């Protein structure tokens, strides 16, 4: 665990892992979307609108995975005071929020032809919108606490853990409560989705997950570089002040 | 023996998390009825809402129950959930996923004669994703085919 405590070691690995994740992710996601958009059959009732699922489901998964990343990093931060944990949480926030927004927009575009409405306030849609607002709040808090003296990461870490309560609520919203949104098609070991849709969907989820990992690594490297530049400037200012 | 600060934080945080998850579950449990987006027919039949109170009714459109009335824009059908059936009348534009045997959410109110008057219809997609080549089959048949090809 603390093998990565030294940012230099993390940076050595991230330097080749980041382009690998991004490159492989872009290739796989492009192929999967091409497969889903042009080769997968139209669905029995939805027709061609089914194709939006190949973007909607990966976006929903990564919007939730982003917050699970923030929560795991927050736990590590609070218990072990790991120097990279706060940086990892900050790296997850923006891509997580973007994928959550993509999920909401694609869902809305699908809802209009399929359900007959852009938006309803059912459990699933509402809890997903709450997740987007949690991301906004977390980013604002993280920025504010960074600007304050010492750059505390304790407050965003507590927020990150408390906000994680929303993740099981999103997942179970369609099981606990009657909702406009359908229950999950894929659960442990069984699928109500035909293989013609299932495989391009899995490929798309893999591709976008790799892109997500690449973006998180890139953002962590950028934050570390920022901190190094700040520290160097501060040292220089101190050295000049002593003359 | 002094407890390491690291272990103290771990125990403290574990307790905080258990309390937090407990609170979340209790809140979700308290919301279990209020957070439902619609009533199913058996709930409507067992405990009818006051007439003119706006409610949503959700369930499956019964096979063979869909009729278009003489004016051409009013439809009548039956929503059922396996236990109870509620007749519904609606005039307006029908969403494209609205077919017999499929899910529907009707917004409206219970009329005095036991017929639900819908102001708005929303189709509900189920969790099944089935290619169009199988559209001649019923949903149950197609589900079996999907289960076999997996």
Q: Answer yes or no: is pLDDT of A109 > 50.
A: yes
Summarised one tens digit per residue, pLDDT across range A194-219 is 888 999 999 999 999 999 999 999 99
pLDDT of residue A124: 93
pLDDT band, residue A2 (cuts 50/70/90): low
Distance from C-alpha of B21 to C-alpha of A168, rounded to nearest angstrom:
10
- Do B57 and B76 touch, CB atoms closer than 8 A? no
Q: Please tell me the least confidently modeled range out of A6-10, A90-94, B17-21.
A: A6-10
> With b meaning 16 or more CB within 10 Å and e meaning fewer, what string describes A60-70?
bbbbbbbbebb
Structural domain that includes position A167 = 20-39+48-181+197-242
Mean pLDDT of chain B: 82
Determine the distance in angstroms separating the CA of A163 from the nearest CA of chain B, rounded to an integer.
10
Instruction: Give the 3-state secondary structure of residue A153.
Output: coil
Q: Supply the pLDDT for residue A167.
A: 93
A10 touches chain B (CB under 8 A): no
Query: A25: burial class by Cβ within 10 Å (0-12, 13-18, 19+)?
Result: buried
DSSP SS3 for B122: strand
Q: Does a structural domain hold residue A11?
A: no
A179-191 average pLDDT score: 84
Closest residue by Cα to residue A139 from A100, A83, A107, A82: A100
Whether A233 maps to a domain, the answer reads: yes
| Coil vs helix vs strand at B77 | strand
**Residue A56: inside a domain:** yes
Give the C-alpha separation, A75 to B9, whole Å: 10
> Residue B73 burial (CB < 10 Å; 0-12/13-18/19+)?
exposed
Report the residue of chain A nearest B146, measured CA to CA.
Answer: A194
Tens of pLDDT, residues A68-80:
999 999 999 999 8
Residue A104 maps to a domain: yes
Residue A69's pLDDT is: 97
**Interchain contact A136–B (C-beta under 8 A):** no
Looking at beta carbons, which residues of chain B come within 8 Å of A169? 24, 28
Smallest Cβ–Cβ distance between A41 and the set B38, B96, B133 belongs to B133
Residue A192: closest C-alpha in chain B: B128
User: Who has greater pLDDT, A4 or A210?
Assistant: A210
Q: What global pTM score does this model have?
A: 0.87
Cβ–Cβ of A41/B131 closer than 8 Å?
yes
The answer to whether the beta carbons of residues A94 and A219 sit under 8 Å apart is: yes
Q: What b/e sequence results for B31-64 when a residue is b if at least 16 CB atoms lie within 10 Å of its CB, and e otherwise?
A: eeeebbbbbbbbbbeeeeeeeeeebbbbbbbbee
What average pLDDT score do residues B89-101 get? 84
For residue A44, what pLDDT is reported?
Answer: 82
Choose the closest CB to A80 out of B6, B16, B122: B6
Selected residue with higher pLDDT from A81 and A215: A215
Coil vs helix vs strand at A122: coil
Reported as a pLDDT band with limits 50, 70 and 90, residue A20 is very high
Between A131 and A182, the more confident residue is: A131
Nearest-CA distance B44 → chain A (Å): 14
Cβ separation B37–A197 shorter than 8 A? no
Q: Residue A148 pLDDT more than 80?
A: no
Q: Kindly report the length of chain B.
A: 150
User: Does residue B148 surpass a pLDDT of 60?
Assistant: no
Q: Identify the three-state secondary structure at position B87.
A: strand
Each residue's pLDDT tens digit, A43-56? 888 888 899 999 99
Rounded Cα gap, residues A63 and A57, in angstroms: 10
Domain-located, residue A230: yes
Q: Which residues pair with A160 in a beta bridge?
A: none
| A12 in a structural domain | no
Flag whether A154 is in a domain.
Answer: yes
Determine the pLDDT at residue B141: 64
Q: What is the mean pLDDT of residues B24-35?
A: 79
* Among chain A residues, CA nearest to B7: A79
Q: Is A118 on the interface with B (CB under 8 A)?
A: no
CATH number at residue A121: 1.20.120
Number of other CB atoms surrounding residue B85 within 10 Å: 17
Is A211:A83 a contact under the CB 8 Å cutoff? no
pLDDT at B105: 92
Contact B24 A165 (CB under 8 A): yes
Q: How many structural domains are present in chain A?
A: 1
A79 with B38: Cβ contact below 8 A: no
Q: Evaluate whether residue A113 is within a structural domain.
A: yes
Mean pLDDT of the region A186-201? 86
Instruction: For residue B150, name the pLDDT band (cuts at 50, 70, 90).
Output: very low
> What mean pLDDT, rounded, does chain A reach?
90
């Amino acid at each position: 665990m603390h093998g990565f405590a030294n940012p230099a070691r993390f940076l050595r690995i991230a330097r080749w892992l980041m382009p690998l994740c991004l490159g492989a992710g872009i290739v796989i996601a492009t192929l999967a979307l091409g497969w889903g958009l042009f080769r997968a059959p139209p669905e029995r009732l939805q027709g061609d609108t089914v194709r939006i699922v190949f973007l909607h489901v990966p976006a929903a998964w990564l919007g939730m995975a982003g917050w699970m990343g923030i929560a795991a990093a927050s736990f590590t931060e609070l218990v072990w005071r790991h120097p990279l944990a706060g940086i990892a949480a900050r790296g997850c926030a923006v891509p997580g929020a973007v994928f959550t927004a993509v999920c909401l927009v694609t869902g809305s575009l699908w809802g209009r032809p399929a359900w007959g409405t852009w938006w309803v306030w059912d459990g699933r849609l509402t809890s997903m919108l709450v997740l987007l607002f949690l991301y906004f709040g977390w980013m604002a808090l993280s920025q504010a606490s960074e600007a304050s003296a010492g750059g505390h990461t304790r407050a965003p870490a507590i927020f990150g853990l408390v906000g994680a309560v929303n993740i099981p609520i999103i997942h179970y919203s369609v099981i606990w409560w009657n909702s406009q949104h359908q229950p999950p098609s894929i659960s442990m070991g069984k699928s109500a989705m035909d293989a013609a849709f299932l495989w391009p969907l899995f490929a798309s989820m893999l591709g976008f997950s790799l892109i997500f990992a690449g973006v998180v690594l890139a953002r962590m490297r950028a934050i570390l570089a920022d901190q190094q530049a700040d520290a160097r400037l501060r040292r220089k200012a101190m050295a000049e002040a002593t003359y | 023996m002094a407890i390491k600060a690291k272990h103290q934080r771990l125990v403290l945080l574990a307790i905080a998390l258990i309390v937090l998850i407990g609170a979340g579950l209790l809140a979700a449990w308290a919301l279990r009825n209020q957070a439902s987006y619609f009533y199913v027919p058996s709930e409507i039949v067992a405990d009818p809402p006051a007439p003119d109170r706006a409610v949503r009714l959700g369930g499956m459109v019964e096979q063979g129950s869909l009729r278009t009335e003489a004016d051409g824009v009013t439809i009548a059908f039956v929503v059922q959930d396996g236990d109870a059936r509620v007749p519904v009348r609606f005039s307006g534009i029908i969403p494209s996923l609205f077919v017999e045997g499929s899910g529907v959410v009707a917004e409206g109110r219970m009329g005095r004669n036991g017929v639900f008057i819908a102001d708005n219809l929303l189709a509900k997609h189920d969790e099944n994703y089935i290619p169009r080549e199988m559209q001649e089959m019923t949903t149950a048949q197609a589900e079996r085919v999907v289960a076999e090809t997996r």
